Amino acid sequence: MGNFSFSAMLLLILTMFIFLMEVSTNPLFTFCSDNSNNYTTNSTFGNNLKSVLESLPSNTSSTGFYSTSVGDGADHVYARALCRGDVTATSCQNCVENASRDVLDGCRTGEAIVWYDNCQVQYSFQNSSLMVYTGKFPDSNDDERNRSNPGRFNDVLVFLMNNISRNAAYDSELMFETGEVKFNKKEMIYGLVQCTRDISNATCLNCLDSALQDLNGCCGSRTGGSVLSRNCNIRFQMYKFYNGSDSPLMYPDFPTGAGWSTGMIMAVLCAAALVLALLIGSRFIYVRLKKRKRIGKSPQKFPTRLSLY
Q: Can you list the positions of beta strands (E) in the chain? A: 29-32, 65-70, 77-83, 111-115, 119-124, 176-182, 188-195, 224-228, 232-237
182 and 212: one domain?
yes
Establish if 182 belongs to a structural domain. yes
Give the pLDDT score at 14. Answer: 44
| Cα–Cα distance measured from residue 107 to residue 55, given in angstroms and rounded to the nearest whole number | 18
210 and 118: one domain?
no
Last residue of a domain, one of 84, 103, 130: 130
120 and 149: one domain?
no
156 and 196: one domain?
yes
Establish if 303 belongs to a structural domain. no
* pLDDT tens track, the chain, 309 positions: 555 454 544 444 444 444 444 444 789 999 998 866 788 888 999 999 999 999 999 999 999 999 999 999 989 999 999 999 999 999 999 999 999 999 999 999 999 999 999 999 999 998 876 676 778 888 888 889 888 778 889 999 999 999 999 999 999 999 999 999 999 889 999 999 999 999 999 999 999 999 999 999 989 889 999 999 999 999 999 999 999 887 888 888 644 444 555 566 666 677 777 877 777 766 667 656 665 555 555 554 444 443 333
Domain count, the chain: 2
Give the pLDDT score at 8. Answer: 47
The SS3 assignment for 82 reads strand
121 and 145: one domain?
no
Structural domain that includes position 25: 21-130
80 and 152: one domain?
no
Establish if 264 belongs to a structural domain. no
Give the pLDDT score at 302. Answer: 42
28 and 118: one domain?
yes
111 and 147: one domain?
no
Give the pLDDT score at 175. Answer: 98
126 and 145: one domain?
no
Give the pLDDT score at 293. Answer: 57
Give the pLDDT score at 306. Answer: 39
| Cα–Cα distance measured from residue 69 to residue 156, given in angstroms and rounded to the nearest whole number | 41
Give the pLDDT score at 156. Answer: 94
Establish if 6 belongs to a structural domain. no
Give the pLDDT score at 149. Answer: 78
- Find the helix or strand (DSSP H, E) in which 91 lies: helix 89-106
Establish if 2 belongs to a structural domain. no
114 and 183: one domain?
no
Last residue of a domain, one of 113, 130, 147: 130
Last residue of a domain, one of 207, 237, 267: 237
| Cα–Cα distance measured from residue 195 to residue 129, given in angstroms and rounded to the nearest whole number | 11
Establish if 249 belongs to a structural domain. no
Establish if 305 belongs to a structural domain. no
Q: Output the pTM of the full model.
A: 0.73
Say which CATH number the domain at 143 has.
Answer: 3.30.430.20
**Angle in degrees, CA 163, 168, 174, rounded to 5:** 160
Establish if 10 belongs to a structural domain. no
Give the pLDDT score at 235. Answer: 97
Which residue type, as a one-letter code, is found at position 17? F
